[in-house]
Amino acid sequence: MAAPGPAARVLVPAGRISTGAVAAVLAVGLVAPQVWRRWAVAVFLTGLVAGLPHGAVDHLVPGWFRRGSRPAAGHRTVVPLGYAAAAAAVPAAALTVPACVLCVFLAVSALHFGYGDARFCALRDGPTDPAPRAVHALAHGTVTAVLPLALWPEQVRPVVRQLAPGADWLLAAPVRTATAVLAGAAVAVCCGMALRDGRHRQAAELLLLTALFGLVPPLVAFGTYFGAWHSVRHIARLVLADPANAPALRAGHTAAVLRRFGRQAAVPTAIALAALAFLTALPRAFLADGRTAVGGVVLLAALTFPHLIVVAHLDRGEGRPEPGPGRPSPPRAARRAAAARSPSDRCRDDG
């Protein structure tokens, strides 16, 4: 069963935006592949910039699920400090054991992308049992995070060598074959389960993503996915999880909710953009040093690891689906906000 009214007004457009963007990029790649070969880096950077806001309110997310009406006094300070500490630890580890960090990064990215899409679909289309949800996460995660290693080795090899010297074994023929088989099997099983359960839209979306990463150069595919799919769907989850948005969502004021998110995300996004501009403006001679380049690239990727911790908190806070005829459970924070309303408020809503 589809999401109820207020949630559907956010989730359904987010799904349409993401699938429309991917379909458009895929169509251009099939009709005029030279376009994406020429503009691959530009599309990648555009997607990276477009995706930055989806992690810009990470410092607020834990407070949405605390008991009480507002976070503890030091909460808004402790969370950003912990976030920064976790991000700072990643470059240090990457310079020490780069191959290990790259492997862990690929694994947790697959988990993050896959489970994030599974959660979005559960909110939009109704919950599923644990087994189909796990297969959904595995299929989406392998397609988006590791399938390019198997299908585009020559395009990916320079990036792997720069990030993690000595990790070329990830592109060896046996590893690539195993990766492709795993991804293909996961996609086939996931689509079969989705079709069996009548979730045709989910099967079509997975096939669309598989075509994107299989037929479009990896920089273009990832930039499109990150900026127009993963980020858009994650922002939809965020605006539904924030209990302060509940009244506006019930009233149908989706644009006001999105403007509020934009204000919340503006300063952190500007800081991230400044850091990105600084790194891309470094002198070419400075970037020529292999270890320095690794440190600069990993500094950007380092934000992913603390982001995963915050998203895990969001996953738990959204709550588990309640038993029933396919109705998704509202986010835990929204249930608390609803419970805190006065009886007269609830009567007015019901009337």
Intervals of the chain under pLDDT 50: 69, 283-296, 320-351
Residue 62: which domain range? 5-350
Distance CA 259, CA 323 (A): 34
At residue 94, the pLDDT reads: 77
At residue 72, the pLDDT reads: 53
Binding residues: 54, 112, 230, 234
At residue 287, the pLDDT reads: 44
Contacts 24+ apart (CB under 8 A), 34-41: 36/216, 36/217, 36/220, 37/217, 39/220, 40/217, 40/219, 40/220, 41/219
Number of domains the chain contains: 1
Residue 184 in contact with residue 8, Cβ under 8 Å? Answer: no
Q: Which residues contact 36 (CB under 8 A, 6 or more apart)?
A: 25, 28, 29, 43, 216, 217, 220
What are the start-end ranges of the H helices in 32-152?
A: 33-38, 40-51, 61-64, 75-96, 98-125, 130-145, 147-151
At residue 158, the pLDDT reads: 85
Binding residues for Fe cation: 54, 112, 230, 234
Residue type at position 347: C
At residue 341, the pLDDT reads: 46
At residue 348, the pLDDT reads: 42
At residue 297, the pLDDT reads: 53
CB atoms within 10 A of CB 159: 15
Q: Please tell me what DSSP assigns to residue 197.
A: T
At residue 80, the pLDDT reads: 76
Task: Tell me how many degrees the CA angle 336-337-343 measures, rounded to the nearest 5.
Answer: 105
At residue 68, the pLDDT reads: 52
- Rounded to a whole number of angstroms, the distance between the first and last alpha carbons of the chain is 25
